Homo-oligomer: A and B are copies of this chain.
Amino acid sequence: MAVYTDVAAEDLADFLKGYDIGELLSYKGIAEGVENSNYLLHTGKGAYILTLYEKRVAADDLPYFLSLMAHLAARGVHCPQPEKNRRGEVYSQLAGRPAAIINFLEGMWPRKPNTAHCAGVGDALARMHLAGRDFPLVRNNPLSVAGWRTLFEAAAPRADSVQVGLRDFLSRELDHLAERWPADLPVGVIHADLFPDNVFFLGDKVSGLIDFPFACNDILAYDVAICLNAWCFEADLSFNVTKARALLGAYNRERPLSVAEQKALPLLARGAALRFLLTRLVDVLNVPAGALVKPKDPLEYVRKLRFQQGVDGINDYGVAPSGCVA
């Protein structure tokens, strides 16, 4: 929720001369995206999002993210499409940073997701997984088991300052998951961060999936597990079985989960909880002075992880095993 790089109107107008998107009418820095600077542009041809990528690591992966969005959009997934400039590039330099222009998607993300929203995200996620099958580029997930170990080691010395006993809790969980993490489940392109603020709706219909900087190649059902944690807990952190049933049911109708995927889902959900717990913990322990972004609460994910540790099987998510999940 910040704009890190201010762009002069004069420089932006020059930059846009390289594109065929009409004359610049206005641009506003928008309070979305914690990693990058985002502007909403109005031009003679419509509305666009301009993103300036603030971190070198993101810039290295830009071809993957931008090609993926173009690939998915071409296959009917509602997601932003990068605009090419007159040289055919999907990004170039502005204000000393890599910058891309994508089309603007109308829609609102749900602050209070209901069951229909959960069904919508399940359906959209399955369609995204199917549309990504023939995407040719590959990006390994830097935030899978090996990455969690690195995060744990960074956070461990001060973990107990956030909650007493947290260090041991994390260490045991990490060992548990590292021993059992599945190697034989279907893999493909995953979004890896499909939280409510990354899914736009118009009414109950999904109008767009946004924000692909964590997209990578990994276990497809792990993406489902991330969504279970992000969409199916209430504000008091109780698990809403009705929402889980809607999400899994809708997913399954588009892309049926195999028996092995269903069986692995609780373990994958533990991993998904640990992943966000660890990144939030590292963030909260490293808030820079004068930070513009308020870190998210890692303890929310301690609670979610404890819930997932108690799950016996997919039936605890409100669905019967064996593919009959609707």
Residues of A within 8 A of B (CB): 1-3, 6, 8-10, 12-13, 24-32, 40, 42, 47, 104-112, 200-202, 290-292, 294
Contacts and interface: CB of A to CB of B under 8 A. Distances in A.
A110 B9 contact: yes
Given A1-B3, A8-B112, A112-B10, A40 B28 contact: yes
Contacts of A3: 1, 31
Contacts of A1: 3, 29
B32 A29 contact: yes
27 contacts: A2-B31, A8-B112, A9-B108, A9-B109, A9-B110, A9-B111, A10-B110, A10-B111, A13-B108, A25-B106, A26-B104, A26-B105, A26-B107, A26-B200, A27-B108, A28-B28, A28-B30, A28-B31, A28-B32, A29-B30, A29-B32, A30-B30, A30-B31, A30-B40, A31-B31, A40-B40, A42-B47
Contacts of A109: 9
Contacts of A8: 111-112
A26 B294 contact: no
Given A3-B1, A294-B290, A108 B26 contact: yes
A24 B27 CA distance: 20
Given A3-B1, A40-B40, A292-B292, A108 B24 contact: yes
A211 B221 CA distance: 49
A26 B106 contact: yes
A108 B29 CA distance: 12
Given A1-B3, A12-B108, 16 more contacts: A2-B31, A6-B111, A9-B108, A9-B109, A9-B201, A10-B111, A25-B202, A26-B106, A26-B107, A26-B108, A27-B108, A29-B31, A29-B32, A30-B30, A42-B106, A292-B292
Contacts of A112: 8, 10
A261 B26 CA distance: 36
A229 to B, nearest CB: 21
Nearest to A1: B3
Sorted from nearest, which 5 A-B pairs have the closest CB atoms? Answer: A29-B31, A8-B111, A9-B108, A25-B106, A28-B30
Given A2-B31, A30-B31, A31-B3, A25 B107 contact: yes
A301 B222 CA distance: 56
